[in-house]
Amino acid sequence: MDRREWPLWEVFIRSRNGLDHKHCGSLHAPDARLALQSARDVYTRRQEGTSIWVVRAEHIVASDPDAKAELFDPAADKIYRHPTFYVLPDDVNHM
C-alpha cells in the first residue's frame, strides 16, 4: 500500500478586507481543493477570515538565515530612508 504522507500546505488568511493575507499555519492535503477546504475548516472556525491562500510548502522559496547579515544589515545605515531623519521647522513638521 502507498503510505506516502499527504503534502504539506502553508495557509495564509486575510482576516478582513483592507488587510494583507497573513501566514497562520499549515496542514496536510492531497490536492489544492481539499487544502483550501481544510484551511477553511481548520483556521476559520471563529470567523477569522474573508479570504484564504494555500501554497504547497515545497513551493515556497525562503531566504537563508545564514545570509541574514548580507541580506538585511546593509539597510541598517540608510537612515535617510526614514521620515524621522529629516528635521523640519515646527510649522511644517507634520509633513
Partner 1 sequence: MSVAIADDLRAAHVDYLLRLGDSALILGQRLSEWCGHAPVLEEDLALANVALDLIGQARLLLSHAGVLEGHGRDEDQLAFLRAEREFRNVTMVELPNGDFARTVLRNFLFTAFQREVMTGLQGSADAALAAITVKSLKETRYNLEHAAGWVVRLGDGTDESHARIQRAVDELWPYTEEWFAPDAGDEALAGAGIALCWSNTRGAWTDAVTPVLEAATLVIPAGTAFRSTGRLGVHGEHLGPLLSEMQVLQRTYPGATW
Partner 2 sequence: MYTQAMDIAAARGEDPAPGQVTDAGYQAEFDAKIDRGDFIEPKDWMPEAYRRTLVRQISQHAHSEIVGMLPEGNWIGRAPTLERKAILLAKVQDEGGHGLYLYAAAETLGVSRDTLVEALHAGRAKYSSIFNYPTLTWADVGVIGWLVDGAAIMNQIPLCRCSYGPYARAMIRVCREESFHQRQGYDLLLAMMSGTAAQRDMVQDAVNRWWWPALMMFGPHDAQSLNSGDSTRWGIKRITNDELRQKFVDATIPQAKLLGVTVPDPDLRWNEARGAHDVGAIDWDEFWSVVNGNGPCNQERLAARIRAWEEGAWVREAAMAHAAKSEARAAGGR
Q: How far is the CB of 78 from partner 1 (least distance, A)?
A: 45
Sheet architecture: strand order including 8-14: 22-28, 8-14, 51-56
Candidates 23, 30, 50, 58; binder of partner 1 (CB under 8 A) is 30
Asked if 12 and 4 count as a contact pair (C-beta separation under 8 A), the reply is no
| Size, binding site for partner 2 by CB under 8 A | 22
Q: Is residue 22 close enough to count as binding partner 2 by CB under 8 A?
A: no
Kindly state whether residue 65 participates in binding partner 2, applying the rule CB under 8 A.
yes
* Residues 70, 5: Cα–Cα separation, whole Å: 37
CA 12 from centre of chain? 7
For residue 92, what is the DSSP state? G
User: In angstroms, rounded to a whole number, what is the distance separating the alpha carbons of residues 39 and 56?
Assistant: 13
Least distance from partner 2 to the Cβ atom of residue 13, Å? 12
Choose which of 27, 49, 52, 54 interacts with partner 2 (CB under 8 A).
27
- Identify which range of 13-21, 64-72, 76-84, 86-94 contacts partner 2 by CB under 8 A: 64-72
